[in-house]
Amino acid sequence: MKPRTVTRTINTILVLIGFMAGHISANAEVVLTKEEQAYLTQKQVIELCVDPDWLPYEGIDEKGKFTGIMSDFYDLWSDKINKPIQLVNTTNWEQSLQFIQDGKCDILASAQDVPSRREWLNVSKPFIFYPLAVATQPDRQFVVKFEQIQHRDFVMVEGYAGVELLRNRYPDINITTVNTSREGLKMVETGTAYGFIDTVPTINYQMLRWGISHLKISNVLELQYAMSVGVSTREPQLLKIFNKAIDDTSEVERQRVLNNWLSIDFQQHNTVLFWQLLVGVSLVLLVLVYRYRQVHHHNRNLRNLNNQLEQISRYDHLTGLANRYALHERFNEEIETSSQTKQIFSLILLDVDFFKTINDDYGHDVGDEVIKQFASLLMSMVRENDMVGRWGGEEFLILCSQTTKNGAFQLADQLRRQVQSYNFPVNQQITASFGLSEYRHGETIGDTIKRADDALYKAKRNGRNQIVMADSD
């Protein structure tokens, strides 16, 4: 090799080494003060209490292991502060709260800042935000403002901060507490309570877990759960340390936590590239190239996983239709377009008549098949620029872009007749009821949906298998 070529090669290697070393150093530990380091050195292990049954956020599995979204966060933070975090097993959330008061654990996996806990619990900076929602029976109307239903009977899990938050905001609210989410959802299913209140992901997960998927979310509250690390007031240094760990957590790392919990399986193929360039630096170069390839491969997989996660977060798992989150995004886009062009759009809210009898007579598997075929029928009859979504249970919503309520009525009438004549996999005729509303400039999408929902329930009261326009006599 010529001297000039060798020089160029060495320079290239040095550039690569510097580039890859920068990537590798990105996973460095959190920078702590001498006092914080001394504290961690003195402390052999950080003891953690969790809610044993609050998945997908946190739980204890059948093997007694910490699981859920929070478990992945704590694995990450344990590496960042270079200190093991050990689970202290408890039987329920109430016991976990008692344990941290008694000094039997140092931290709670997630906690809210509420007045009743401040004597014995500090909370870190929040790292996840999720709104509270109300799960009800499928025949309940969609409610824009929680104040409209605050007089109803609700159920929540005992010891959850949301109980205190809601009672402080709505002093007259009637909340019954239970030990588990399953108990709460069962009370709603049997009609013992009007609604079960928890975060949207928890409700969705628990309904699927326990086969109670026919309930629906009828209201999303303005109140949010701000997920924070709960730290015993006995451990002030630990609060500072976890705040630093949270600050050091990148958005990529947060996304990776979600990907891991969603169990999107991928294989990471560890390929070592042997560069035969200079014998004197080959060993160092091989290590760096290997690490860089891992990071590069992992990032590529993360991009793929992000795409999959996008699908999961925006589309209904059973039908493949848009879910509420995707529909709300499209609503906002349509409102913005309408404000600029003055064009009108309309909504069609519809549901399958007497669907509960299908589940009761034929079983939930057949009911699911009816829902899937119903969704396919809707998709086959709308325009490309319209959007069909599953609103909840057997209820669907169609956004008719650049369409007046009269145009939406024509589509709804075609759908009603097609549903009535369709050969579903049950030995009975299936029909659907429809409520229509036309967007009014300046109103919220919640108002538009509420008017369509009122029209739908008028159609049901009038005998079902019919169409009612909002605000019609």
Tokens of 76: 């990450």
Taking residue 28's Cβ as centre, other Cβ atoms within 10 Å add up to 9
The two structure tokens encoding residue 180 = 């588990």
List Cβ neighbours of 30 (8 Å cut-off, separation of 6 or more): 80, 81, 241, 244, 245, 248
> Is 169:223 a contact under the CB 8 Å cutoff?
yes
The residues, ordered by sequence, that sit 6+ positions from 42 with a Cβ below 8 Å of its Cβ are none
CA separation for the pair 86, 43 (Å, rounded): 12
- Compute CA distances 64 → 61, 67, 203, whole Å: 5, 9, 23
**For 263, left (φ over 0), alpha (ψ -120 to 50), or beta?**
left
Structure tokens at 94: 């109430």
Cα separation values, 255 from 53, 72, 77, 307, 454, Å = 23, 11, 15, 12, 39
Residues in the chain: 473
- Cα 304 to Cα 267: distance, rounded to the nearest angstrom: 12
Of 440, 432, 441, 390, residue with least CA distance to 411: 432
User: By the 8 A CB rule, do 32 and 241 touch?
Assistant: yes
Mind giving me the DSSP string for 269-320? --------S-GGGHHHHHHHHHHHHHHHHHHHHHHHHHHHHHHHHHB-TTT-
CB 329 within 8 A of CB 322: no
Local structure of residue 260 (DSSP, 8 states) = H
197, 220 Cβ separation under 8 angstroms: no
As annotated, the active-site residues are: 394
- Distance of alpha carbon 415 from alpha carbon 64, whole angstroms: 51
